[in-house]
Amino acid sequence: MQLLEARGLSVRLGGRRVLHKIDMSIAPGEIVTVIGPNGSGKSTLLRALIGAVSIEDGTVFRKRHLRIGYVPQRLGLEKAMPMTVRRFLGLPKRLSAAACEELLARVEGQGLADRQMSQLSGGQFQRVLLARALASEPEILILDEATQGLDQPAVAAFYQLIERLARDLNCAVLMVSHELHVVMRASDRVICLNGHVCCQGAPTVVSAAPEYRALFGDSAATLALYQHQHDHSHEDDRSRVPVGAAEH
Amino acid sequence: MLDDFLVRAGLAGLGLALAAGPLGCFVVWRRMAFFGDATAHAGILGVALSLAFSISIFLGVLGVALLMALLLSVLVARGHVMDTTLGVLSHGALALGLVAVSFLPTVRVDLASFLFGDVLAVSKMDLAVIWAGAVLVMALMYWRWSSMLTATLNPDLAMAGGIDPKREQFVLTVAMAVIVAVAIKVVGALLIAALLIIPAAAARPLVRTPEWMALVATLIGGLSTLAGLGLSLKVDTPTGPSMVVAALAVFTLSTVLGRQGRDS
């Protein structure tokens, strides 16, 4: 039983065809990452799956009453709107103070509850967005380039947190990212998108695919080199071993 | 008690302030200030049509304001250049209304009372309509509050949580039209937007959550309408504009206080 599935999905935005005949699905507990160059339709795919854009052709299936935890690319919080972290976590459904603390603890954001959203650092802000997405006890977390504006260590830490939460809560994750290195390690499956699905599969399979090399060129070569080193090293930090490779 | 025109004027102002507080917050958060202006200006066209066809002014204004607000919502959704579109529609509707009124026999129209309000002439019937409209807007705000707040923060976030941002936008659009219809007698078409925006903006530096902002904006709005009424009696100034001037004074005070609070 899939949580989300797209069949022959095509989307047109402002006369331009952004997505063409996409077939993809995500099963419970699976971590799937969508990668692709700018303008390849990654965000549009996520938005089509949650029903935020209208579909030109094809179908999107969602499990009945699927609980989705969504982390947007940016919030765009108006300065004119006062908002404490506690109040934000209770949107759209109010939460008790204890529940707020528990959510914040899950994302390692203790002590932020009474801060104004506008006063958070980039990393704290993303953690709070993530905590809010967890409030509905989601079956699937959907993250749209959730690490924009974070520096490299913060990005790595954020994806480790996502991976741990997904395993702890037995929650599927569908995310869009351009952080190839980090994302490839944490994913069960990678979908390489460029208007259509170029290739998909386990990270090791995708990174070896010629379509992927063609799309990412230099950075793909770097990644392959990086993975190659780690596949053959036994002294490295366990957490840095690619998931795909760890199963061998 | 309602036989006293002053009591009726005070109650009319309070009714309007109660509904304008929470709605005004959304106008500020969603940057709909000019949207509010355009809807209010369309009210003058509504007045002209009501008088020409001898229907209730409240209904005429409500109808035209609703049409204008819906038209604007559709244009926003289609991504038209908003600033220009709003400017064209806002001033176009006002000019069209003024021209239409000029065709009516002058004895029947006191144009100034619709442009600047005439709260001292509010009848018992007017008062009933104003409070019915205010209660309707407050009920809409209370009912949709959390959903509208989520949709205002981020439409996709709302969508993923099963909230349709378009529906919330529609509710706000209807509320806006009702406020215009209710307020045209109190502050007039030209200053309705002021009574939405200024109390909300005045509340902003003093609060930490959206709910408090709505509450404080309502208090400031209520205070301003009563203070404006008092001012107009004391020094014989036009009542509607006096209410807005009172709100402006509170805004200035809270902005200064807010800045000091941040510096210390």
> Residues A12-41: pLDDT tens digits?
988 888 999 999 999 999 999 998 888 889
- Alpha carbon B213 to chain centroid, angstroms: 17
Q: Which residues of chain B make contact with A92, given a CB cutoff of 8 A?
A: 146-147, 149-150, 158, 161, 163
Task: State yes or no: pLDDT of A180 exceeds 70.
Answer: yes
Residue B84 pLDDT: 83
> Mean pLDDT over residues B92-105, rounded?
88
Task: State yes or no: pLDDT of B22 exceeds 90.
Answer: yes
**Residue A39 contacts B, CB cutoff 8 Å:** no
- Across the interface, whether the CB atoms of A91 and B31 are under 8 A apart is answered no
Number of alpha helices (DSSP H) and beta strands (DSSP E) in chain A = 9, 9
Task: State yes or no: pLDDT of B3 exceeds 50.
Answer: yes
Report the share of chain B in percent with pLDDT over 70: 96
Q: How far apart are CA A162 and CA A143, in angstroms?
A: 10
Task: State yes or no: pLDDT of A185 exceeds 80.
Answer: no
Residue A235 pLDDT: 40
- Across the interface, whether the CB atoms of A80 and B204 are under 8 A apart is answered yes
Residue A209 pLDDT: 81
**Higher confidence at residue B128 or residue A247?**
B128
- Across the interface, whether the CB atoms of A82 and B161 are under 8 A apart is answered no
Residue pLDDT, tens place only, B134-154 = 999 999 999 999 999 999 999
Residue B108 pLDDT: 65
Residue A68 pLDDT: 92
- Any residues with CB less than 8 A from the CB of B212 and at least 6 apart, and which? A82, B203
Q: Which residues of chain A make contact with B78, given a CB cutoff of 8 A?
A: none
Phi, psi of B8 (to 5 degrees): -60, -40
Residue A242 pLDDT: 40
Q: Which residues of chain A make contact with B159, given a CB cutoff of 8 A?
A: 47, 50-52, 70
Mutate to test the interface with A, among B78, B146, B156 (most CBs of A within 10 A): B156
Residue pLDDT, tens place only, A197-211 = 988 888 888 877 888
A128-137, A182-191, B156-165: range with lowest mean pLDDT: A182-191
CB distance B38 to B93 below 8 Å: yes
Q: Nearest residue on chain A to B165, judged by CA atoms? A: A52
> Mean pLDDT over residues A217-222, rounded?
58
Q: Which residues of chain A make contact with B144, given a CB cutoff of 8 A?
A: none
Phi, psi of A84 (to 5 degrees): -85, 160
> Mean pLDDT over residues A74-91, rounded?
90
How many residues are there in chain A?
Answer: 248
A60-74, B50-64, B207-221: which has the highest mean pLDDT? B207-221
CB distance A35 to A190 below 8 Å: yes
Q: In the predicted model, what is the mean pLDDT of chain B?
A: 90
- Across the interface, whether the CB atoms of A83 and B210 are under 8 A apart is answered yes
Nearest beta carbon to residue A82 from set B150, B155, B207:
B207
* B237: number of Cβ within 10 Å: 13
- At A70, is the pLDDT very low, low, confident or very high (cuts 50, 70, 90)? very high
**How far B264 CA lies from chain A's nearest CA (Å)?**
17
Residue B262 pLDDT: 65
Residue pLDDT, tens place only, B224-241 = 999 999 999 999 999 999
Residue A240 pLDDT: 38
Residue B83 pLDDT: 79
Residue A237 pLDDT: 39
Q: What is the DSSP letter of A84?
A: B
Task: State yes or no: pLDDT of A166 exceeds 80.
Answer: yes
CB distance B35 to B27 below 8 Å: yes
Q: How far apart are CA A52 and CA A45, in angstroms?
A: 10
**Residue A77 contacts B, CB cutoff 8 Å:** yes
- Across the interface, whether the CB atoms of B160 and A68 are under 8 A apart is answered yes
* B166: number of Cβ within 10 Å: 13
Task: State yes or no: pLDDT of B263 exceeds 60.
Answer: no
CA distances (Å), A64 to each of A3, A134, A139, B216, in order? 9, 19, 11, 41
Q: How far apart are CA B41 and CA B30, in angstroms?
A: 19
**How far A205 CA lies from chain B's nearest CA (Å)?**
31
Residue pLDDT, tens place only, B100-140 = 888 887 656 788 888 988 889 899 999 999 999 999 999 99
Q: How far apart are CA A138 and CA A71, in angstroms?
A: 12
